[in-house]
Amino acid sequence: MAEPLTIALPKGRLTDGALALLARAGYPVPSNGDNGRKLVLEGADRRLRFIMAKPSDVPIFVEYGAADLGIAGLDVVREAERDVYEPLRLPFGYCRLVVAGKADRPDRPLRLERSPRVATKFPRLTEAFFRRRGLAPELIVMSGSVELAPLVALADLIVDLVQTGTTLRENGLTELRVVLESQAVLIANRASYRLRAGEVRALIDALAANVMSKT
Amino acid sequence: MPAQVFSLDRPLPEGVRDLLFADAAAWRELESTLRQTWTAWGYREIILPAFEYADTLATDVGAEIDAEMYRFFDRQGRTLALRPDMTIPTARVVGTRLYDQPLPLRIAYVGSVFRYEPPRAGRQHEFGQAGVELIGAAGREADAESVALAVAGLRAAGLPTFRITVGHVGFFRGLLNALALPEKLAGQVRRAVDRKAEAELAALLVEAGSVAPAARAALLGLPRLTGGVETFAAARPLCLNARMTNALNDMETVAELLDAYGVADVVTYDLAEVRDLDYYTGITFEGFAPGLGFNLVSGGRYDDLIGHFGPPQPAVGWALTLDRILLARELQGVIQAEPAADVLLGAATCPACLRWAAAARARGLQVEVDPLGLAPDELWRSACARGISRVVIHDRDQGLVVRNAAGQRTVVADDWEEVLRWRNR
């Protein structure tokens, strides 16, 4: 039997949606019981092998071909700017990458800001967003709770992911602009797309059928 | 081992590296294999300068490469650049020096190129490129020759498994004409096709509003036009204009020729490939190997380039990355042995030994002479440490004595039949 296709899945908020979609598409997935410390898991029918990765690493696994396919947030894919195919948008993981600031900040257009200090986990997208508007942001790249930054005057603004907006509200922040509407996407390695065309196509079609039937 | 005093304070600049013995040997062998291959097809090598005027290299057809060039100044303050690829210098040579030579020209090259791009899959800022260009032939026959030669090169390189995907920019360009979208939307469609983002195409069509149903169907069907020769039959009904039909006819003929060349088993087709759409004018192709997520070789038809330097000429060619071929081969289990001599010969001062060494070398044996005057046992240890499997010494009573892992015995000095069997290769 041939090697299974390797798919990189993001650990965290997208895990359940990704596993559920794959299961609906007819691919046996590791049960939550397996889904603890092991980072590489085999599917029961040996068609898929699963790599459980940090979300921002998924595009890297896929670009290098360490994984043939991956599921990641569009936000992460755009930030990573890796050379991968994006055959399918998936119907989960909806969120927005937004610019937010303190709720009591003066109400004026962003373009009149001097040189805002912006805390974010998405430096590339943030830089591009502000540069396009003629602003030179001072980026503070963080890896933890970005919402904290304006509260302690570390930053004027933040660029972060928002699902419901509750976290922002609870911290006295308000959404100012949408940088990117995000959702889960299926990404594919350029070489695997060709070298394993049949299996990759079968998986895309199986997922697509489920995406359609849901919407 | 005694503590060594050495300096760690000699870093290499980003993007360059040394290749040590086994890697260097693999590299040179690959070069020579490729050279034999293209020579057998009638291609002749040229040697190009490592740097030229930046203006020459930065033609408007390669904007992406332009941003990646290493630039510096000469003493008059003119901007120079290290060559980011070899096709543009080759086009300059053809346009400015070879424009009246009998056609077609078959040109090959090998050497380092330099780009500021993040190191990926064996490629540093300096990496090795080998390639061929077939100039002055516009037809499908030339396209097929170029693809077939790429396959021949990869096969000769000893790469067990690989695949070449052939596309054609004319098909997508024709489709864009038929769609007649506003410029911004056309750009978005092109980027979506480039990323194989099938679902996005539907969304973009909604945005476009009134698009003819046939054009809509063609765009939505495009991402599936990839696979074997059956792809052409699927693509035929989607052709909306002469440009698309011509592109498809080109592909079909090239596929037939590739079958005749005996390379059809490693070639697939992809009409949705739109990379470097502004540079290429006809077929395009890329080669991939398992385990390496990046392309090994890429090429295509570029009929507009040579006209930047002289009388326009149709041209088709490819370049492969030596570093990536070697890496892909290693991933498939082809490991280059550490190079070692066949024989370590004792006594640098012994005339009989030196005469024997000269005779052995003339017959193709690799002979190292011990310059340190080691005693026989030390000599054997030294050979073992460096992977040399035989030691030869001159014994006053017995004449030439050979020692290997099996033991020690006398050799008849002129029994070359036996000695030649010592060769590693």
Task: Check whether A215 has a pLDDT greater than 50.
Answer: no
B269 CB within 8 Å of a chain A CB: no
Tell me B1's DSSP state: -
Measure the CA–CA gap between B28 and B418, rounded to whole angstroms: 29
Measure the CA–CA gap between B285 and B283, rounded to whole angstroms: 7
B408 CB within 8 Å of a chain A CB: no
Minimal-distance CA residue of chain B relative to A65 = B293
More confident residue, A68 or B60: A68
- pTM for the model stands at 0.89
Tokens of A184: 């889960």
Tokens of B310: 């002289």
Residue B86 pLDDT grade (very low, low, confident, very high; cuts 50, 70, 90)? very high
Percent of all residues in chain B with a pLDDT value above 90, rounded to a whole number: 69
Which of B117, B123, B196 best probes binding to A when mutated, by most A CB atoms within 10 angstroms? B196
B226, A189: Cβ pair inside 8 Å? no
pLDDT of B417: 84
A191, B294: Cβ pair inside 8 Å? yes
Q: CB-based burial of residue A43 (10 Å sphere; 0-12 exposed, 13-18 middle, 19+ buried)?
A: middle
Contacts of A192 in chain B (CB under 8 A): 293
Task: Check whether A36 has a pLDDT greater than 70.
Answer: no
pLDDT of A110: 78
pLDDT of B419: 83
Domains and CATH numbers, chain B: 11-161+290-339 (3.30.930.10), 163-266 (no CATH), 343-420 (3.40.50.800)
Q: Among B197, B270, B294, select the one facing A87 at the smallest CB separation.
A: B197
Q: How far is CA B70 from CA B28, B79, B89, B114, B126, in A?
A: 25, 10, 15, 7, 10
Q: Which amino acid is at B266?
A: V
Interval A75-80 mean pLDDT:
95
* pLDDT (tens digit per residue) in A10-24: 999 999 999 999 999
Q: CB-based burial of residue A177 (10 Å sphere; 0-12 exposed, 13-18 middle, 19+ buried)?
A: middle
Q: CB-based burial of residue B247 (10 Å sphere; 0-12 exposed, 13-18 middle, 19+ buried)?
A: buried
Minimal-distance CA residue of chain B relative to A189 = B293
Measure the CA–CA gap between A91 and A183, rounded to whole angstroms: 7
B196 CB within 8 Å of a chain A CB: yes
Domains and CATH numbers, chain A: 5-93+183-214 (3.40.190.10), 95-182 (3.40.190.10)
Q: Among A62, A188, A195, select the one facing B163 at the smallest CB separation.
A: A195
Q: Are B267 and B166 in contact (CB under 8 A)?
A: yes
**Residues facing residue B108 across a β-bridge:** B45, B132
Residue B243 pLDDT grade (very low, low, confident, very high; cuts 50, 70, 90)? very high
pLDDT of B139: 93
Contacts of A195 in chain B (CB under 8 A): 163, 288-290
* pLDDT (tens digit per residue) in B271-328: 999 888 888 999 999 999 998 889 999 999 999 999 999 999 999 999 999 999 999 9
Q: Among A65, A197, A204, select the one facing B293 at the smallest CB separation.
A: A65
Interval A90-97 mean pLDDT:
95
Measure the CA–CA gap between B149 and B132, rounded to whole angstroms: 9
A188, B196: Cβ pair inside 8 Å? yes
Which of A194, A204, A207, A212 best probes binding to B when mutated, by most B CB atoms within 10 angstroms? A194
Q: Which amino acid is at B124?
A: Q
A194, B268: Cβ pair inside 8 Å? yes
Which of B120, B154, B191, B195 best probes binding to A when mutated, by most A CB atoms within 10 angstroms? B195
Query: How many residue contacts between A and B have a Cβ separation below 8 Å?
Result: 63
Q: Among B121, B199, B293, select the one facing A88 at the smallest CB separation.
A: B199
Q: Among B165, B195, B295, select the one facing A85 at the smallest CB separation.
A: B195
Please report, to the nearest 10 degrees, the dihedral formed by the alpha carbons of residues A129, A131, A133, A134 taken in order: 170
Q: How far is CA B274 from CA A143, B142, B271, B280, in A?
A: 36, 21, 8, 9
* pLDDT (tens digit per residue) in B256-287: 999 999 999 999 999 999 888 888 999 999 99
Task: Check whether A35 has a pLDDT greater than 70.
Answer: no
Residue B63 pLDDT grade (very low, low, confident, very high; cuts 50, 70, 90)? low
* pLDDT (tens digit per residue) in B213-223: 899 999 999 98
Strand ranges for B213-345 from DSSP E: 226-227, 267-270, 283-289, 292-301, 315-321, 343-345
Interval A102-130 mean pLDDT:
88
pLDDT of B7: 66
Tell me B22's DSSP state: H
Task: Check whether B43 has a pLDDT greater than 50.
Answer: yes
Minimal-distance CA residue of chain B relative to A204 = B198
Interval B188-212 mean pLDDT:
88
Number of Cβ within 10 Å of residue B30's Cβ equals 25
B266 CB within 8 Å of a chain A CB: no
Nearest chain A CA: its distance from B356 CA (Å)? 52
Measure the CA–CA gap between A54 and A9, rounded to whole angstroms: 8
Contacts of A66 in chain B (CB under 8 A): 293
Tell me B123's DSSP state: B
Q: Among A64, A85, A194, select the one facing B165 at the smallest CB separation.
A: A194
* Max Cα–Cα distance, chain B, nearest Å: 100
Closest CA to B343 of B310, B389, B300: B389
Please count the CA atoms within 13 angstroms of the CA of B35 that sit on its side-chain side.
12
